[in-house]
Amino acid sequence: MAQQMPSIDTWLAEAKADPSFRACGMYLIHNGTVRETPKAEARGVATDGVQPGHKVGGMTFSYDRSKVDAAIDATRALPGIGYVRVWLNEGELEVGDDIMLVLIGGDIRPRVIDALQSLVGTIKNECVAEIEHEA
């Protein structure tokens, strides 16, 4: 069963109350959701999930907490990054359900964009298991 995603407004308020806020000139948020288009079609890669031309009806989502924690620690260590927070759903998810929420704060736009892209990529490629189910 899908979990309730945390409030983005609350997360931003908490980030701006954190001592790191003085060095953060911007915050970026990534909200990943379950889409109807299969990963194989959207990304153009071979998968053992739902095949191109078919529709995703949902997915089973899980993650390795220790790998996620290591990815968060590595992101916090990047130059200019002052704030990192991650929430991941788990279980049986339907199209439209939230998969993840990632918030990164840092000094300048290029560093924050790069950190967000790197962290989300690491989470998606190394920390989670997504099993798509055909509609």
The answer to whether residue 38 is domain-embedded is yes
Q: Residue 102 belongs to what domain range? A: 8-134
Residues in Cβ contact with 27 at an 8 Å cutoff, skipping those fewer than 6 apart: 12, 15, 83, 103, 104, 105, 112
pLDDT at position 1:
60
Q: How far is CA 113 from CA 6, 10, 91, 124, in A?
A: 22, 21, 29, 16
Is 41 part of any domain?
yes
Question: The whole model's pTM is what?
Answer: 0.93
Q: Is residue 2 part of a domain?
A: no
Residue 59 sits in a domain whose CATH number is 3.90.1170.40
Which pLDDT belongs to residue 80? 98
How many domains does the chain contain in total? 1
Spell out a b/e string for 61-84, using b for 16 or more CB atoms within 10 Å of the CB, else e.
Answer: bebeeeebeebbeebeebebbbbb
Residue by residue, pLDDT tens for the chain (135 residues) are 678 999 999 999 999 999 999 999 999 999 999 999 999 999 888 888 899 999 999 999 999 999 999 999 999 999 999 999 999 999 999 999 999 999 999 999 999 999 999 999 999 999 999 999 999
d(CA 135, CA 61): 16
Position 26 in a domain: yes
User: What's the pLDDT at 49?
Assistant: 85
Residue with the two structure tokens 């968060």: 72
CA dihedral over 99, 131, 50, 42, signed as positive or negative = positive
Q: Mark out the alpha helices in the chain (DSSP H runs).
A: 8-17, 39-43, 65-76, 109-122
Query: Which one-letter DSSP state was computed for residue 70?
Result: H
DSSP symbol at 21? G
